Amino acid sequence: MKVLFTSSIILACIVVLSCNKNSSGPNAGAGTSSLFPLTQGNTWYYVDSSFVADTAAGGPAQTFSPPTALDTMTVTKNTYTDQYGTVYLEMHDIGWFLGSYIAVDPTNDAIYEADSLGGLQAYEAFAVPAQDGIIQQNPDQYNPNNLACPLTTTLYGFVEPVNINGFSCLTNILLTTDCNNISLEQIITYDCPGTGIVRIEDDEADSSSTGVRLYENFSQTLTSATIVK
């Protein structure tokens, strides 16, 4: 699903901390408090929504394009092992996690992801913050639209729980800015320990607003889940 502005840089910009830790193994996501329970048989039921910024009517205003879609995600038997020995499990999904392999750090403080659509180069998709603020920042990233203006990606974390459809969630925001500090995209991730990713929201700059404002481009929101304990 991640056909986004930052899709060309995100895989290279976030350092995977698992290189200094033991292999997660195929069941590292098991447990009642796992950031992303990866037991086979677990199923997540999402509603996916796509949007466009409609500037034709003097907007921009948000319109559905296409309408919302129901999305069921499951854990498969397929695995991927990275160069550090971390084992990822493939997710079967038509939405955000299409082609994704997921692993949970043995300390249960981070979720790692490797995308088959991006060459299976692993990155840190979510991290538990110790306090509000920056978790990780990566400057001087490749800008496919302007080589002379490198990008910076900054991962923020927030400790105050947020209620999403009855799930108590931690929040991360991955913000991409250019060399002029103009925001181009932000990906907001809400995670409920013991359930997994509850909501992903991708906000992008409207092409007619020169990156001054961000508008919702895609969201994937959990309605219910079946988690094998």
Q: Is pLDDT at 10 greater than 60 in this prediction?
A: no
pLDDT in tens, 74-124: 999 899 888 888 889 999 998 999 989 999 998 999 999 988 766 777 888
Alpha carbon 163 to chain centroid, angstroms: 18
Of the candidate ranges 6-10, 77-81, 97-101, 152-156, the one whose mean pLDDT is the lowest: 6-10
- pTM score: 0.83
Of the candidate ranges 67-71, 87-91, 173-177, the one whose mean pLDDT is the lowest: 67-71
Which tokens belong to 51? 């949007």
For CA atoms 116, 172, 187, 193, the dihedral sign is positive
Q: List, in sequence order, every beta strand (DSSP E) within the chain.
A: 43-54, 61-64, 69-81, 87-92, 100-104, 110-115, 123-127, 133-141, 151-164, 167-177, 183-192, 196-205, 214-226
pLDDT in tens, 17-48: 434 344 444 455 666 789 999 988 899 999 98
**Mean pLDDT score, 52-77:** 71
At residue 227, φ and ψ (nearest 5 deg) are -110, 125
Q: DSSP states of 125-165 as a string? A: EEE--SSSEEEEEEEEE--TT-TTS-EEEEEEEEEEEEEET
Using CA atoms, how far apart are residues 86 and 105, in angstroms rounded to an integer? Answer: 9
Can you tell me whether residue 91 is helix, strand or coil? strand
As beta bridge partners, residue 126 has: 111
Can you tell me whether residue 10 is helix, strand or coil? helix
Domain 5-226: which CATH number of 1.10.287, 3.40.50, 2.40.360, 3.30.530: 2.40.360
Q: Give the per-residue pLDDT at 65.
A: 61
